[in-house]
């Protein structure tokens, strides 16, 4: 039997089951024979229809959701095996919280601005010639992967783009004589590591891997929905800023802005949007339901938000950082010595605690989703947690399933709303789905949560 036939969940099952995240690794590996394009629900998807079986065999080894690819543990231990390991955050050298000290700079970034500080250091020290990261698009989309080769270019693409993108194009156009750092969510970093393992030229070119802690990705619909709710419909949308800091509130209660082609800019609290809470997982791709890597375990360094009480209070934003490469630690420590950044050493427990909700979704939730799909006779990838509902309360199981429904249905309802130019079609259905989610959530939390839910409901009815 060939290796391909022995793999139960390969790239074909990934695509068939809608678990493709659109990273573009398969397109790069096959020289474009597998096309990765934006679908009608605002997510990049691979098309295997015209690929030969040889091309599929190559692609399946670099697809982050294929069982033919090495998993995060294998990829990480080959590189960081000498470092201590924690089941939640992976291998680690330094674990820190920190941010830029200049307020004018830090407000231009999502969290503490350390990701851009590190990337600038990589360019300044000539560790790499250019950075592959996400910035404003020149084309028909709002955001895309861009190549920055100077600090000025880097600075023009700060903040988090909660938006579907692909590395298919920039990854296929790397210059043979250049070294690049790639910035990405954990599954994109894993895909690029897999590619670099398979293709010697890419192994030389992809010289540094910068991870972004990830709760889940969003379809391009998220930007459109936020903007439309702020009065800017998709047809007149110029851009969205997903993270506008507000000095009157805590860091996690940020605003967003939508700018129309006329130049008019509307700023609103993200909590005022029906789909603004990440807990509801609106527009989440199916791939994120099968992901167990929160801290980009295969990256040389990873940056997230320090969602811990002591940092959350500070509206300016603070990063959580895990380094695994001495050069990353050194660049950040050198910036601390000049007074450009402040850093505090933390331990893996605090880093993991800063992402408590993510771990519930990606470890406990994943076990339940795997068990559900296996029971339904569906193909699932092998993950680092086992399929089982054992030890998970009935209330939590219901919540996990309800959340998955919201992700799936939000994509369908928004697609219909766009087609009929009727935002209410989406809002009305989401309101009902979220009310159900809140009810289930309150029930599984206990009597005080139920009381709070009822009070909120009564207040909502009176308004
Ligand atoms: C989809 C997504 C989900 C996230 N989920 C979480 C979460 O659950 N918990 C958490 O703590 N943090 C999460 N983050 C990370 C967080 O929002 C910040 O990006 C991170 O803390 C870095 O902040 P900073 O101020 O250091 O970076 P900045 O100085 O603002 O720079 C950000 C850098 O990341 C690049 N970038 C932005 N968006 C993307 C993207 N989609 N793909 C690749 N590169 C990108 C930019 O080009 C820029 O170089 C998420 C980010 C994304 C994009
Ligand atoms: S490699 Fe990436 S783009 Fe290709 S099928 Fe897998 S997830 Fe999708
Ligand atoms: S949750 Fe996982 S699969 Fe989804 S975008 Fe983030 S890293 Fe990728």
CA of 420 from ligand 3 middle (Å) equals 30
Q: Ligand 2: does its nearest atom lie under 6 Å from the Cβ of 214?
A: no
365 C-beta neighbours (distance < 10 Å), count: 23
> Residue 443's pLDDT band (boundaries 50, 70, 90)?
confident
More confident position, 449 or 145: 145
Share of the chain above pLDDT 70, in %: 98
Instruction: Report which of residues 344 and 8 the model is more confident about.
Output: 344
For the stretch 375-391, pLDDT in tens is 999 999 999 999 999 99
How confident is the model over 297-308, as a mean pLDDT? 98
Ligand 3 center from residue 218 Cα (angstroms): 10
Nearest CA owner, ligand 2 atom 6: 63
Regarding beta strands 95-100 and 319-323, do their DSSP bridges make them parallel or antiparallel, or are they unpaired? Answer: antiparallel
Distance CA 357, CA 213 (A): 13
Beta-bridge partners for 258: 240, 266
Q: Whole-angstrom Cα distance, residue 83 to residue 74?
A: 14
What pLDDT score does 456 carry? 73
Q: What spacing in Å lies between the alpha carbon of 426 and ligand 3's midpoint?
A: 24
What's the whole-number average pLDDT of the chain? 95
What band does 402 get if pLDDT is binned at 50, 70 and 90?
A: very high
Q: Which of 106-120, 212-226, 303-317, 439-453 has the lowest mean pLDDT?
A: 439-453
Q: What is the pLDDT of residue 445?
A: 78
Phi, psi angle pair for 23, to nearest 5°: -60, -35
When pLDDT is averaged across residues 406-426 and rounded to a whole number, the result is 98
Q: How far is CA 53 from CA 6, 34, 375, in A?
A: 14, 11, 30
Evaluate if residue 276 carries a pLDDT over 70: yes
| Nearest-angstrom CA–CA distance, 229 and 243 | 16
pLDDT band at 1 (very low <50, low <70, confident <90, very high): very low
Higher pLDDT, 7 or 371: 371
pLDDT single digits (tens) 228-247: 999 999 999 999 999 999 99
pLDDT (mean) for 350-361 = 95
Contact 116, 155 (CB under 8 A): yes
User: Does the pLDDT of residue 52 top 50, yes or no?
Assistant: yes
The SS3 of residue 8 is: coil
Region 181-208: what's the mean pLDDT? 98
Please tell me the predicted confidence (pLDDT) of residue 5.
54
Residue 463 has pLDDT above 50, yes or no: no
3-state secondary structure 255-281: EEEEEECCCCEEEEEHHHCCCCCHHHC
The residue to mutate among 12, 16, 26, 289, having the most atoms of ligand 2 within 8 angstroms of its beta carbon, is: 26
Q: Distance (Å, rounded) from C-alpha 223 to C-alpha 221?
A: 6
pLDDT of 54 above 80? yes
Predicted local confidence at residue 462, as pLDDT? 47
pLDDT in tens, 86-142: 999 999 999 999 999 999 999 999 999 999 999 999 999 999 999 999 999 988 899
Pocket-testing residue among 160, 185, 209, ligand 3, by greatest number of atoms within 8 A of Cβ: 185
Q: 70 pLDDT exceeds 80?
A: yes
- Would you state the pLDDT for residue 113? 98
Query: For 265, phi and psi rounded to 5 degrees?
Result: -120, 125
Angle between helix 221-229 and helix 394-420 axes, rounded to 10 deg? 70
Neighbours of 66 (CB within 10 A): 24
Do 239 and 227 contact (CB within 8 A), yes or no? no
The predicted pLDDT at position 460 comes to 63
Q: Are 23 and 186 in contact (CB under 8 A)?
A: no
Domains of the chain and any CATH numbers: 3-60 (no CATH), 72-218+281-356 (3.40.640), 221-280 (no CATH)
- Say how many Å lie between the CA of residue 62 and the centre of ligand 3: 16
Q: How far is Cα 26 from Cα 195, in angstroms, rounded to an integer?
A: 9
Tell me, in angstroms, the distance from the centre of ligand 2 to residue 63's CA: 5
pLDDT, average across residues 207-218: 98
| % of the chain exceeding 90 in pLDDT | 92
Are the beta carbons of 306 and 113 closer than 8 angstroms? no
pLDDT higher at 122 or 459? 122
Residues of 260-269 as b/e, b for ≥16 C-beta within 10 angstroms? Answer: beeeeeeebe
Nearest protein Cα to ligand 2, atom 8: 20
Q: Which helix (H) or strand (E) holds 297?
A: none
Rounded to an integer, what distance in angstroms lies between the CA atom of residue 396 and that of residue 368? Answer: 10
- For residue 335, pLDDT beyond 90: yes
Minimum mean pLDDT among 211-225, 421-435, 449-463: which range?
Answer: 449-463
């Amino acid at each position: 039997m060939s290796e391909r036939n022995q793999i139960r969940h390969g790239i074909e099952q990934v695509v068939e089951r809608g678990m493709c995240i659109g990273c573009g690794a398969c397109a790069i590996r096959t020289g474009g024979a597998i096309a990765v394009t934006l679908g009608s629900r605002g997510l990049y998807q691979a098309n295997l229809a015209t690929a030969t079986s040889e091309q599929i065999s190559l692609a399946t080894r670099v697809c982050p959701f294929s069982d033919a690819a090495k998993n995060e543990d294998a990829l990480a231990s080959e590189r960081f095996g000498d470092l201590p390991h924690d089941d939640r955050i992976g291998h680690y050298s330094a674990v820190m919280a920190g941010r830029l000290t200049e307020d004018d700079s830090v407000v231009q970034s999502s969290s503490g601005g350390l990701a851009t500080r590190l990337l600038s250091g990589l360019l300044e020290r000539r560790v790499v010639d250019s950075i592959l990261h996400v910035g404003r698009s020149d084309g028909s989309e709002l955001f895309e992967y861009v190549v920055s080769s100077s600090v000025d270019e880097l600075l023009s693409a700060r903040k988090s783009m909660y938006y579907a993108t692909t590395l298919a194009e920039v990854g296929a156009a790397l210059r043979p004589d250049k070294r690049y750092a790639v910035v990405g969510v954990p599954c994109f970093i894993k895909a690029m590591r897999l590619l670099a393992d398979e293709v010697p030229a890419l192994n030389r070119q992809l010289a540094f891997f910068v991870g972004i802690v990830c709760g889940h990705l969003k379809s391009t619909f998220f930007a459109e929905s936020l903007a439309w709710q702020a009065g800017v419909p998709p047809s007149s949308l110029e851009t969205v800023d997903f993270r506008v800091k507000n000095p009157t509130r805590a860091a996690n209660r940020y605003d967003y802005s939508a700018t129309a082609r006329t130049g008019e800019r509307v700023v609103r609290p993200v909590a005022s949007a029906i789909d603004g809470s990440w807990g509801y997982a609106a527009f989440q791709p199916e791939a994120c339901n099968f992901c167990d890597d929160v801290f980009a375990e295969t990256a040389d360094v990873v940056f997230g938000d320090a969602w811990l009480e002591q940092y959350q209070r500070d509206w300016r934003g603070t990063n959580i950082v895990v380094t695994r490469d001495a050069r990353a630690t050194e660049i950040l420590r050198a910036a601390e010595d000049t007074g450009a950044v402040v850093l505090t050493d933390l331990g893996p427990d605090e880093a993991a605690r800063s992402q408590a909700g993510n771990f519930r979704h990606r470890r406990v939730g994943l076990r339940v989703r795997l068990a559900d799909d296996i029971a339904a006779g569906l193909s699932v990838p092998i993950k680092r947690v086992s399929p089982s509902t054992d030890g998970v309360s009935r209330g939590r199981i219901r919540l996990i399933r309800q959340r998955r429904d919201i992700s799936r249905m939000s994509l369908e309802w928004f697609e219909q709303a766009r087609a009929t130019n009727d935002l209410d079609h989406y809002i009305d259905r989401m309101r009902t789905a979220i009310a159900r989610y809140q009810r289930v959530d309150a029930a599984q939390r206990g009597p005080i949560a139920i009381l709070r839910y009822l009070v909120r409901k009564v207040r909502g009815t009176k308004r």
